[in-house]
């Protein structure tokens, strides 16, 4: 395949940045999107040019690093996939592909396509944990959990913190991410001790990081590579209200 790539280049956080055009040939449709960028970077390095900086780690859809806004969609056109799981067969020979970083006040650009997602880490640190006494590990079956709760919690725990929800939301809201983390622990017996304080702290941190306000448009759910359900947001709202009423 021969392609034209329109890629956002930005030297550092202070640089204004802009698009650069690259033409690339000999791309196989069996390559992943990141492999295609690897090929581009190899060639740039060969020409002594600065390669395109982008985040990646696992390349199998579990780390959530590969943030790229491709042709107007978070992680490109496929549903339920990350950029590393997107394959070049999603595109046609001769296509022009626009690649931008996540755009949100909460995710400042570090360089090119790399954004700083540590706002998510701070949200987790503010309450997304359970306090456990140290000592011997207990037998897991000592704590019984109803199967539907376990399933629901597990579905929420699938969130990889990629930030596609924020990136795709018209309001740059982080509610899907935060609600997945709140749900995951609120549903389990181990999460009960900090239940009220958790949702309050995490929401306060989310607001402090400058993410927008949810209007239930549903873009996040449609773009989430782990297909986290919008119903978690409703659960978070419920948790938050209850935490405030019961205080």
Partner 1 sequence: MTITQFINSSLGRKTVMAATGLFLCVFLVEHLYGNLLLFYTDGGEAFIEYSHTLVHSLFIRIVEIFLFAAIIVHVVQAIHLTRLNSTARPVKYTEYKVGETSNWFSRNMGITGSLILFFLVVHLWRFFVPYRITDAVGGEGQINVAQDVKLAFQNGWYVLFYLVSIAFLTFHLNHGFQSAFKSLGLNSKKHEQLLSVSGSVFAFGIVGIGFASIPVLFYFGIAGSTF
183 binds partner 1 (CB under 8 A): no
Size of the site for ligand SF4 (CB under 6 A): 15
From the list 63-71, 91-99, 147-155, 213-221, the region that binds ligand FES by CB under 6 A is 63-71
115 binds ligand SF4 (CB under 6 A): no
81 binds partner 1 (CB under 8 A): no
3 binds ligand SF4 (CB under 6 A): no
Q: Which residue of 35, 43, 62, 71 would you call a contact of partner 1, by CB under 8 A?
A: 71
3-state SS of the chain is CCEEEEEEECCCCCCCCEEEEEEECCCCCCCEHHHHHHHHHHHHHHCCCCCCCCCCCCCCCCCCCCCCEECCEECCCCCCCCHHHCEHHHCCCCCEEEEECCCECCECEEECCEECCHHHHHHHHHHCCCCCCCCCCCCHHHCCCCHHHHHHHHHHHCCCCCCHHHHHCCCCCCHHHHHHHHHHHHCCHHHCCCHHHHHHHHHHHHHHCCCCCCCCCCHHHHHCCCCCCCHHHHHHHHHHHHHHHCC
101 binds ligand FES (CB under 6 A): no
Q: How far apart are the first and last CA of the chain?
A: 61
Interface with ligand SF4 in residues 177-196 (CB under 6 A):
177, 180
Closer to partner 1 by CB, 55 or 239: give it: 239
Q: Which residue of 83, 172, 184, 205 would you call a contact of partner 1, by CB under 8 A?
A: 172
Q: State the nearest-atom distance from the C-beta of 144 to partner 1, in Å.
A: 22
176 binds ligand SF4 (CB under 6 A): yes
Q: State the nearest-atom distance from the C-beta of 38 to ligand SF4, in Å.
A: 23
From the list 137-145, 158-166, 186-194, 211-219, the region that binds ligand SF4 by CB under 6 A is 158-166
Summarize as ranges the residues that interact with partner 1 (CB under 8 A).
Answer: 19, 69, 71-73, 98, 100, 103-106, 109, 152, 168, 170-173, 175, 200, 203-204, 206-207, 210-219, 222-223, 229-231, 233-241, 243-244, 247
């Amino acid at each position: 395949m021969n392609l034209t790539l329109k890629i956002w280049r930005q030297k550092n956080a202070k640089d204004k940045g802009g698009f650069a055009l690259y033409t690339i040939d000999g791309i196989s449709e069996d390559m992943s999107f990141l492999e295609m960028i690897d090929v581009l970077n190899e060639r740039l390095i060969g020409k002594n040019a600065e390669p395109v900086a982008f985040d990646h780690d696992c390349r199998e859809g579990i780390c959530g690093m590969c943030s790229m806004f491709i042709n107007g969609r978070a992680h490109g056109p496929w549903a339920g996939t990350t950029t590393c799981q997107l394959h070049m067969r999603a595109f046609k020979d001769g296509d022009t592909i626009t690649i931008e970083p996540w755009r949100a006040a909460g995710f400042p650009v570090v360089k090119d396509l790399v954004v700083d997602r540590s706002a998510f880490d701070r949200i987790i640190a503010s309450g997304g944990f359970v306090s456990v006494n140290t000592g011997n590990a207990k037998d897991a079956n000592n704590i019984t959990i109803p199967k539907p709760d376990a399933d629901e919690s597990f579905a929420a725990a699938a969130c990889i913190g990629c930030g596609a929800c924020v990136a795709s939301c018209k309001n740059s809201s982080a509610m899907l991410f935060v609600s997945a983390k709140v749900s995951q622990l609120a549903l389990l017996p181990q999460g009960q001790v900090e239940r009220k304080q958790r949702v309050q702290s995490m929401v306060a941190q989310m607001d402090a990081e400058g993410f927008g306000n949810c209007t239930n448009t549903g873009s996040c759910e449609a773009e989430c590579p782990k297909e986290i359900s919008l119903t978690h947001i409703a659960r978070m709202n419920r948790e938050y209200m209850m935490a405030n009423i019961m205080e």
